Structure 1
Amino acid sequence: MTNSTFRAFLLAAGAGSLVLAGPAVPTSRADAQGAVATISAADKAQGAKAHPQLLAEFGGAVTGPQATYVEGIGKTIAFQSGLGNARSDFTVTLLNSPVNNAFAIPGGYVYVTRQLTVLMNNEAELAGVLGHEVGHVAARHSQKRESAATRNTILGVLGSVLAGAVLGNSALGQLGQKIFSTGSQLLTLKYSRGQESEADALGVTYLKRAGYDPRAMGTVLRSLAAQTALDAQLTGSTDKVPEWASTHPDPASRVTAALALAGPNPRGMSNRDLFLTRIDGLTYGDDPKQGVVDGRKFTHPGFRLSFQAPQGFYLVNGTRSVSISGQSGKGEMSTAPYSGNLDAYVRSVFAGLSDQQRIAPDDVRTTTVNGIPAAYGTSRVNTSDGARDVVVFAYAWGPGQAFHFTTISAAGQASAFDPMFSSMRRITIGEAGAVRARRLMVVTVKKGDTLQSLARRMAYDDRPLDRFLVLNAMDAKAALVPGSRVKLIVY
């Protein structure tokens, strides 16, 4: 969660179109080298307008040599698509986001997060992921969506998933989306099964044309599936949070299909050592400038703020808010314009929850939490799945600054969030200064190193070995070779 960007937005993504002067996917290297397709001026204008909004939504762009390296690989793989002057027409951005994700929008704008980049193990995997996204552009998938709703809107997926989990298919779905979509850093264009498979296939094709090992598409999908499974185990969640690897079709079938597309005798470069050298030092997980999630605890050193989710809940940090999820309810912590009147603040948050029906608290009560002036209100709303309690709990943080929780739970279960409401506190300067970012460190395996000894160097107390194995695409029986290089996450 950043200090300055909290407003929600919906971004038109599919209104423009690619004007193709030839086949969408060239069939030979000669075709790829010719100007067989162009990105329209309208698409370029649309992408240029959306680009700064997306940067704000996803934590901004990483700068420096690591970003330059990712950009170069992206432009190289985009050239294989045959889209006009691909090297100059495509804008490739490494995003400062702690979510495993990659996406593209019309106009030749392609994005990959630093989190997903760190999960990769060679340059061919990076090229495969970027090639998949270029494939969506080349195949005009944004123009082929089945409904206007999915064609014209990019949505934070986590919000809709949380809303659906609590609210079901009810008229209050808009409320859930309003509450949760602002906290999400996950983004997908809701492509169909066929479109995702086609983009995988195009990614493999581009890998072959560029001289990369075409198996990389399958191996990176396998790593993503493993990371998604580990994340679910770490949070105790049964929710399948949509990420780049777990959209349709299911991850296992995508891995199998991608490896089959590589062919019986795949050849090509992987550039593992170069890749590891170039990405060494990338931030991993939350950037302290956006606040840090550590288990059930969230700390923002800039705001000198901390709170803890209740037992059985887990947190997902977003650019504008922090999402809270558990089986007995969902919520988010965010902020809104504050005039100095907490009563008016709480009522304004309720008023902004739904465009379809008026939602207002029964009353607004004032209290004090750890010396912080606070106010809260509750509203019971009937849905097709039963009554739901919506709570807004706000804190006066300073002149012109307030924060609030918004929660949804089954009627009578709102008290599950009481420990969280009472945990909000100001932290000391010392506590704020102690918040550190985790980062990637590439190390050379030495004689005597074991999986366990290397895992103990990971900056995690919970399941460091499992984290190490997933990070390096290894299993528990992997043999370490002295002189080889592996990835660690350290402070």
Structure 2
Amino acid sequence: MALAGAASLALGACASIPGANVAPGSPITAEEAQVGAQYHDQFVAEFGGEMTGPYARYVEQVGSNIAVQSGLATRPDAFDVTLLNSSVNNAFAVPGGYVYATRQLVNLMNNEAELAAVLGHEVGHVAARHSARRQEKAQRNQLLGLLGAVIGGGLLGSSDLAQLSLQGSQLATLSYSRSQELEADQLGIQYLNRAGYDPHAMATLLTSLAAQNQLDAQLQGRGDATIPAWASTHPDPASRVQNALQLAQGGTGVINRDTFLNRIDGMVYGDDPAQGVIEGRQFIHPELRLSFTAPQGFYMVNGTRAVTINGDQGRSQMTVGQFNGDLNSYVRDVFTKLGGEQQQVTPSSIERTTVNGLPAAYGTARVNNGQQQVDVTVFAYEFSPNTAYHFMSITPAGQAGTFNSLYQSMRRISASEAGAVVPRRVDVVTAGRGDTVRSLANRMAYTDAQEARFRVLNGLSASDQIVPGQEYKLVIRSN
């Protein structure tokens, strides 16, 4: 949680839609470029910030070279390819030649052709003007438009609770239709062929993403690997693998495995300590100097502006608001913003308490979300005269106590605890003659599922074995 406030990305329902009347495959128009530039900074802020340096330059180079194959522009520098500092597997693009990929998704890849495949897929969405057509459909349905997407839901008709119901601020794009996803896959594979890459890379990347989604579901205790939607803007990659293989049939080209692995060696993997880290059920933020623990049976997602705690019995977010030194008014303000203009949300009362030495205040309101009665709880803590953080939770009516252990776990951490937080990074190693999957996996910086994590990270099936002399990715602790 970086707590960098991002401005609203919503466009009014009667706003013009860039690209709506442009034929698919046509060059980028001046209007599209203008709109893309207008919202670029906001997208970057919403997804963890822009990375710079060698990693970012490499991704930009590959992305620009694959994008020019689309015919949207004749020069690679006409595209803006951004590597985002996010621990979520994600990639997306917006009109105007703006293409984005998270470092976590790049870390999942195993060769340059896979990187080109993902970025080519996103360029395919732009070339086909999919975002404009999705937004045009949304406007016909009188929904709130967003640059190629919508912040979905609307538990109470307010953006804050809508985001809470959809598991966090990392969810910022509405999924494309299946036909649009398949078309973008097809276009991406065309671009791979034109650029001289192995077109099978689209299928191998989708396979890795599906395996990662499945592993995440197992580690978090979820039964459905395609839920929650924040795991990818392109849900259900497993269903697209066979189609991608058929499209690539007979194609050949380079993959540049060693080059790719060497170029991503040392990249941060998972949470960046500057945004806080999740370790099991504990969240710890060394810069904000705070920590809390999710209840048993719940899992957490670390977003850009909030940490989301998810489970079958409810959802909660920890975030920050404007604080004037009065916790009671702080809590009331959070409730006021929840309801917005459409519905007033007022707690029955606001109580004061102390949690681990921190002054705290809380209140609960019972509201109807259109389907059932739910309890909305705001629990706030004062960390300094001008700094407060709060949990905002939704539970079924009568079950507001579900998150009591969460509220009581909030605490201030010491300087030594903060200093002990060390990031995980990708470490590329060359397998020796005696190495096995188990011996390499044992070096992964995790206490659970080491072998499963190693296999998914390196695109290995359950039966694949180590090849001596070949490079593999590990995840280690390193400053």
TM-score range, shorter chain: over 0.9
Instruction: Spell out the pairing of 1:10-409 with structure 2 (5 A cutoff).
Output: 10-12=9-11, 15-18=16-19, 24-25=24-25, 37-145=26-134, 146-148=137-139, 152-153=145-146, 160=152, 176-179=161-164, 183-238=168-223, 240-242=227-229, 247=234, 250-263=236-249, 265-355=250-340, 356-409=342-395
Deviations 1:218-272 (A, max 9, x none): 1101100000010011011245122576735x43320010110002x22100000
Q: Is the 8 A contact 1:289 1:300 kept in 2?
A: yes
The structural deviation recorded for 1:295 is 1.2
- State the AA in 2 paired with 1:427: I
Supply the distance in 2 between the matched residues of 1:253 and 1:314 (Cα, whole angstroms). 26
Q: Is the 8 A contact 2:168 2:306 kept in 1?
A: yes
Supply the distance in 2 between the matched residues of 1:379 and 1:442 (Cα, whole angstroms). 51
Q: Is the 8 A contact 2:455 2:462 kept in 1?
A: yes
Supply the distance in 1 between the matched residues of 2:345 and 2:289 (Cα, whole angstroms). 32
Report the aligned-residue RMSD. Answer: 2.2
Q: Is the 8 A contact 1:154 1:189 kept in 2?
A: no
TM-score (norm 1): 0.90
TM-score (norm 2): 0.93
Structure 2 residue ranges without an equivalent (≥5): none
Supply the distance in 2 between the matched residues of 1:56 and 1:256 (Cα, whole angstroms). 35
SS at match of 2:451: helix
- State the AA in 2 paired with 1:387: Q
Q: Is the 8 A contact 2:283 2:292 kept in 1?
A: yes
The structural deviation recorded for 1:396 is 0.6
- Inter-CA distance 303–173: structure 2 relative to 1 (3 Å threshold): closer
Q: Is the 8 A contact 2:167 2:310 kept in 1?
A: no
- Inter-CA distance 216–12: structure 2 relative to 1 (3 Å threshold): farther
The structural deviation recorded for 1:39 is 1.6
- State the AA in 2 paired with 1:466: A
- Inter-CA distance 439–11: structure 2 relative to 1 (3 Å threshold): farther
- State the AA in 1 paired with 2:390: H
SS at match of 1:187: coil
- The answer for the alignment partner of 1:420 in structure 2 is 406
SS at match of 2:375: strand
The structural deviation recorded for 1:2 is 1.1
- The answer for the alignment partner of 2:2 in structure 1 is 2
The structural deviation recorded for 1:20 is 8.9
Q: 1:411 aligns with which of 397, 406, 425?
A: 397
Q: Is the 8 A contact 1:19 1:39 kept in 2?
A: no
- State the AA in 2 paired with 1:372: L
Q: Is the 8 A contact 2:167 2:230 kept in 1?
A: no
- Inter-CA distance 302–437: structure 2 relative to 1 (3 Å threshold): same
Supply the distance in 2 between the matched residues of 1:407 and 1:8 (Cα, whole angstroms). 23
- The answer for the alignment partner of 1:33 in structure 2 is none
Supply the distance in 1 between the matched residues of 2:16 and 2:144 (Cα, whole angstroms). 7
Supply the distance in 2 between the matched residues of 1:189 and 1:325 (Cα, whole angstroms). 20
Structure 1 residue ranges without an equivalent (≥5): 26-36
The structural deviation recorded for 1:447 is 1.2
- Inter-CA distance 186–282: structure 2 relative to 1 (3 Å threshold): farther
Supply the distance in 2 between the matched residues of 1:480 and 1:468 (Cα, whole angstroms). 11
The structural deviation recorded for 1:134 is 0.3
Equivalent pairs, count: 468
Supply the distance in 1 between the matched residues of 2:118 and 2:404 (Cα, whole angstroms). 42
- State the AA in 2 paired with 1:206: Y
Supply the distance in 2 between the matched residues of 1:390 and 1:422 (Cα, whole angstroms). 17
Supply the distance in 2 between the matched residues of 1:438 and 1:380 (Cα, whole angstroms). 42
Greater mean deviation of Cα atoms: 472-481 or 391-400: 472-481
Q: Is the 8 A contact 1:316 1:323 kept in 2?
A: yes
The structural deviation recorded for 1:314 is 0.6
Q: Is the 8 A contact 2:268 2:423 kept in 1?
A: yes
- State the AA in 2 paired with 1:134: V
Q: Is the 8 A contact 2:18 2:35 kept in 1?
A: no
- The answer for the alignment partner of 2:425 in structure 1 is 439
Q: Is the 8 A contact 1:225 1:246 kept in 2?
A: no
The structural deviation recorded for 1:18 is 3.8
Q: Is the 8 A contact 2:91 2:233 kept in 1?
A: no
Supply the distance in 1 between the matched residues of 2:239 and 2:20 (Cα, whole angstroms). 32
- State the AA in 1 paired with 2:123: V
What is the percent sequence identity of the aligned residues? 53
Q: Is the 8 A contact 2:131 2:148 kept in 1?
A: no
SS at match of 2:283: strand
The structural deviation recorded for 1:8 is 5.9
The structural deviation recorded for 1:172 is 5.7
SS at match of 2:324: coil
